[in-house]
Structure 1
Amino acid sequence: MSDAVLIRLSGITKTYGSGQAAFQALKGIDLVIEAGDFVAVMGPSGSGKSTAMNILGCLDVATSGSYEFEGVKVEQLTRNERALIRRNYLGFVFQGFNLLARTTALENVELPLIYRGEPAAERHAAARAALKQVGLDGWEHHTPAELSGGQQQRVAIARAIVTRPHVLLADEPTGNLDSHTSQEIMNLISGFNRDLGITVLMVTHEPEMAAYAKRVIRFVDGRVESDRRNGEDA
């Protein structure tokens, strides 16, 4: 890319249903996100923030408007092509961890690499390195039931970053954690943004977590109500 723009949303709308039952979740979103940014997305339930994140994560498509990812118009891609963007460029962290219950930490972290078809030896090495990065060296063979909530979220973060994604999408990553563990997780995510240059897009309800971001975007009624750098006056 000739500039630092990673993501550009132009006039994005999303409508569910049709006729009298139609609900417009997004009402014309314009957004530019530069490579290396750390963006917290806030807003009340039903504001459209999760819908926007699903579109950004190529999990859903807009009803109208344009979504450019690294210069590629995502709305022109097939379902399989969008899956390739998810596989090769995006990492996901969820509130509920989404780990496979009977599978070790190492095997959970290897999953994205299996989908990529990487050889077993390389998968093992990359997964071990990712677990070490999140402070779980020595926990490779524990299953989720043998891990605390904070450790489970660390495994989920290791799984998200093992592919060295360009973008980490985190949906309420501290929603199920106590305040001390939440701070540890946010320090991890901030470190990956700072040290590895991974762009972070994070949905959160918590101002304390949004304070870790460089920029806070607030959604209200399907529109961007405000978009500020942290530290700017409201």
Structure 2
Amino acid sequence: MTSLISLQGVSRRYGEGASELMALNQISLEIQEGEFIAIMGASGSGKSTAMNILGCLDTPTAGAYLFKGVHVEALSRDQRARIRRRYLGFVFQGFNLLARTSAQENVELPLLYRGDSQAGRKKAAREALAAVGLAGWEHHTPSQLSGGQQQRVAIARAIVTEPAVVLADEPTGNLDTQRSHEIMSLLVGLNRDHGITVLMVTHEPDMAAYAHRMVHFKDGKVLKDAANPNPSSSPPLQSDLTPETV
């Protein structure tokens, strides 16, 4: 079976001579469609560099990156951008929402960049917000939302394009324990019910425990790649959230 994503002997080097840094050193990784993978490691381990390459935000110095059988490392900047727009959704620790823009408009942004019609954007954004439990919150700005709600908006923005892969970089890093588990419940549901492949960077073992597989990085290499035989079960996702409960 052909992997959805294949990294083959990928290295990423920054700088030259005495200032050279080998951020990734000949890593190989196979990711199948529908997997939920937690990527772990200390600061400087290479996990963020790997995620940048997987997200088509950076390219390897050496080795091959295949996405759906296509050699991404050989593509132009514009071709990589098209892969991001069509197949990838991104969730960040800091939410990265536009402060003076409504939840609806924030979620519409990827569709605006893609050139979708106004009616199509509005419909898709409403559906994405409903999918993350925020129906009725479309016109609230980030300042009117809690941290948990803001991350839900960010996840809605990531899935509004119906991506094959969601790349989540420390998605619970700015949340308390309860909201963190709610966000993990949401990611588990998207993976289980919609077949979205989830690649999540985290330093929190209790968040990584939701994943089906854990990949540990150290010194630019894959130190350990192992299945998680007993992923944490997710609590029911609340859909009737209020400012008092989130």
- State the TM-score, normalized to the length of structure 2: 0.93
**1:76-119: per-residue Cα shift (whole Å, max 9, x none)?**
10000000000000000000000000000000000000011111
Instruction: Report the counterpart of residue 241 of structure 2 in structure 1.
Output: none
Give 5+ residue unaligned stretches, structure 2.
Answer: 231-246
Aligned pair partner of 1:206 in 204, 207, 216: 204
Are 1:13 and 2:11 an aligned pair?
A: yes
User: What is the percent sequence identity of the aligned residues?
Assistant: 66
Q: Which runs of 4+ in 1 moved over 2 A?
A: none
Instruction: Report the counterpart of residue 218 of structure 1 in structure 2.
Output: 216
Deviation, 1:231, is 2.3
**Separation (CA, whole Å) in 1 of partners of 2:137 and 2:149:** 9
CA contact (8 A) 2:45 2:221 kept: yes
Instruction: Report the counterpart of residue 192 of structure 2 in structure 1.
Output: 194
**Separation (CA, whole Å) in 1 of partners of 2:157 and 2:23:** 30
SS in 2 for 1:113: helix
**Separation (CA, whole Å) in 1 of partners of 2:135 and 2:229:** 36
CA contact (8 A) 2:102 2:141 kept: yes
Deviation, 1:216, is 0.2
Letter in 1 for 2:164: H
**Separation (CA, whole Å) in 2 of partners of 1:14 and 1:127:** 36
Aligned pair partner of 1:132 in 130, 133, 150: 130
1:86-165 equivalent positions in 2, closer than 5 A: 86-165=84-163
Please report the RMSD computed on the Cα atoms of aligned residues, expressed in angstroms.
Answer: 0.8
Give 5+ residue unaligned stretches, structure 1.
Answer: none
**Separation (CA, whole Å) in 2 of partners of 1:130 and 1:14:** 35
**Separation (CA, whole Å) in 1 of partners of 2:162 and 2:227:** 26
CA contact (8 A) 1:90 1:169 kept: yes
**Separation (CA, whole Å) in 2 of partners of 1:61 and 1:21:** 20
CA contact (8 A) 1:144 1:152 kept: yes
Aligned residues: 230
CA contact (8 A) 1:4 1:35 kept: no
**Separation (CA, whole Å) in 1 of partners of 2:48 and 2:89:** 16
CA contact (8 A) 1:90 1:166 kept: yes
